[in-house]
Amino acid sequence: MVVALVVGCSPSSAPPEAPLRPLLYTESPRGAAAVIPQYEEWMPRGGDPTEYPSEFATSAVTEAPMATGAPSLTPEALALDVFAALVSGDRERLLAHTFSAEQLAEASRMTPDGARREADAIVEATLATLAVFTTDAEQRRGLSSLLVPGQLEIGRPRRRDGRPAERDDAVVMHWGSSLTFTLRGTDVEFELRLPNLLVDESGEWRLRAAPTVSSSFVTYRAIGLDRLPELMDTDHAALPLAVGSYWQYSTRRPGLEPTAPGYTAPAREGYRDSVLEVSDHGTHRIVTFRRTFENPNESSQRFSYLVTPNRVYPCTSECVRRGSAVAWVLGYAERTTPLLVLPLTRGAGWGAGGLDRRDNSYRVQMEPQTVSVPAGIFDGAYEITRSTPQGRQSSFFSPSIGFVMYRTDATLQSRVDELVDFRILP
């Protein structure tokens, strides 16, 4: 290896044609016949390129890998082919990189029964990761055109017993490998993790543990940022939101009717929610409303929604301010509980990030509802319930119309907001 050390130069010296590059150390992946084109192994600060095992950090993947599905004779080839199989949705190619029970028993020195259970578990978990990449693929833009591989890091070489390999040891395993990938044209970065790579007795590298993908990519797919943007248009959206559309509600409070003892006529409580502005950011939109009240003593209010093809979130002032950045939106969506998870599924529930979990805030009731309000009769409405400090709250949602009624059942005072009038513009 040749290292050039630049101490200084005179003002008359001609500048170099290109900026000086960091200290670079290149080597062929172990077992490869030759250096793989377009790979650069970058040595970390303070590393010693003569020390075994080499401590380079990552490999730059400058172009999308052209997966062949051929046997992977290096861990690098395995990692890239797994990524390509996931992105293309190729189940057969992906599973070709897992172990059969017989191969795993031989490579890991396991009993046949233990190897069979372990191999089945790896396949099941690998297919779960594939599902993250392929669900509703026909309604989405092709991931192969959206995702660009970035940095490949192969974990430290290990012996068959898992201990770090020394100079004279046969390297048969790598723990903790990963491949970053980004959305084309952005700085939004995800990570594909390969926890354990193991070579079989024939010399082919395989998945000793299922690949996993970063939660931000799960969120990216779940909220539908790779779906066709026109799915949010009025003609297709379950909740049509265009400037000038409005929903007018009247409010009544059961138990405080004129016939109730001690009745006092309440102030008018009806209100109108009007779409004031729609900021279109391509993959998502921020929709701002103005709420005006029938009571002239109440000032109007503004509130916003973050809308993606698959989710509707409440949007805070910070969300409005920073919502043009996809990376920020992904983080916000991952920690915020959406108002709607689309398409609605009867019996489904969700909490933070729109995920189905034990602490679900929202639950879609199994039975379709017929809701009769001053604006009309709406058949097949979805009843979405949640518990609040004020009591059990139900929202009745009619696709392509919106919320037709809200009801809060409370011990002290219940409330019902009913749709009186609405206008939906294209």
Q: Are 155 and 175 in contact (CB under 8 A)?
A: yes
Mean pLDDT of 107-121: 95
Phi first, then psi, for residue 347 (nearest 5°) are 90, -10
Lowest mean pLDDT among 10-19, 251-260, 315-324, 391-400: 10-19
Name the band, by pLDDT with cuts 50, 70 and 90, for residue 414. Answer: confident
Residue labelled with tokens 């993606």:
308
Closest-CA residue to 253 (of 418, 416, 419) = 416
Q: Where are the alpha helices (DSSP H) in 141-232?
A: 143-146, 215-222
Which pLDDT score is estimated for 34?
A: 42
Torsion-angle region of 136 (φ positive above 0: left; ψ -120 to 50: alpha; else: beta)? left
Lowest mean pLDDT among 44-48, 73-77, 167-171, 358-362: 44-48
Name the band, by pLDDT with cuts 50, 70 and 90, for residue 423. Answer: very high
Phi first, then psi, for residue 123 (nearest 5°) are -60, -45
Radius of gyration over every alpha carbon of the chain, rounded to an integer in angstroms? 29
What contacts 361, CB < 8 A, 6 or more positions away?
A: 337, 350, 351, 352, 386, 387
Lowest mean pLDDT among 103-117, 206-220, 387-401: 387-401
Q: Are 72 and 32 in contact (CB under 8 A)?
A: no
Q: Are 61 and 41 in contact (CB under 8 A)?
A: no
Mean pLDDT of 70-98: 92
Which pLDDT score is estimated for 228?
A: 81
Which pLDDT score is estimated for 78?
A: 94
The amino acid that residue 309 corresponds to is: P
Interstrand relation of 58-60 and 271-280 (parallel, antiparallel or unpaired): unpaired
Mean pLDDT of 291-301: 95
Which pLDDT score is estimated for 257?
A: 56
Query: Can you list the positions of beta strands (E) in 281-414?
Result: 285-293, 301-307, 311-315, 340-341, 349-350, 362-364, 369-373, 376-388, 391-398, 402-409
Residue labelled with tokens 């046969």:
170
Distance between CA atoms of residues 310 and 223, nearest Å:
5
What mean pLDDT is reported for the chain? 84
The amino acid that residue 307 corresponds to is: V
Each residue's pLDDT tens digit, 5-32: 333 444 444 544 544 444 333 444 444 4
List the domains of the chain with CATH numbers.
Answer: 41-213 (no CATH), 229-423 (2.40.360)
Each residue's pLDDT tens digit, 380-398: 999 999 988 778 899 999 9
Supply the DSSP string of 169-192, one letter for each residue.
SPP-EEEEEEEEEEETTS--EEEE
Burial 339-373 (b: 16+ CB within 10 A, else e): bbbbeeeeebbbbebbbeeeeeebbbeeeebebeb
Lowest mean pLDDT among 93-97, 183-187, 340-344: 183-187
Distance between CA atoms of residues 307 and 233, nearest Å:
11
Which pLDDT score is estimated for 258?
A: 53
Mean pLDDT of 195-223: 96
Which pLDDT score is estimated for 47?
A: 46
Mean pLDDT of 330-343: 95
Which pLDDT score is estimated for 303?
A: 98
What contacts 318, CB < 8 A, 6 or more positions away?
A: none
Name the band, by pLDDT with cuts 50, 70 and 90, for residue 238. Answer: confident
Distance between CA atoms of residues 132 and 143, nearest Å:
11
pTM over 0.85: no
Whether residue 269 has pLDDT greater than 70: yes
3-class SS at 140?
A: strand
Whether residue 104 has pLDDT greater than 80: yes
Distance between CA atoms of residues 226 and 139, nearest Å:
9
Q: Are 79 and 177 in contact (CB under 8 A)?
A: yes
3-class SS at 419?
A: strand
Distance between CA atoms of residues 3 and 133, nearest Å:
43
Locate 122 and state its tokens. 């790896």
Mean pLDDT of 312-336: 96
Q: How far is CA 327 from CA 251, 331, 341, in A?
A: 39, 7, 20
Percent of the chain residues past pLDDT 70, beyond the cut: 80
Lowest mean pLDDT among 123-137, 186-200, 253-267, 404-418: 253-267
Supply the DSSP string of 361-392, one letter for each residue.
SEEE-SS-EEEEETTEEEEEEEEEEEEETTEE
Name the band, by pLDDT with cuts 50, 70 and 90, for residue 151. Answer: very high
Which pLDDT score is estimated for 42?
A: 43
Name the band, by pLDDT with cuts 50, 70 and 90, for residue 233. Answer: confident
Distance between CA atoms of residues 83 and 151, nearest Å:
12
Whether residue 45 has pLDDT greater than 70: no
Closest-CA residue to 248 (of 370, 375, 339, 372) = 375
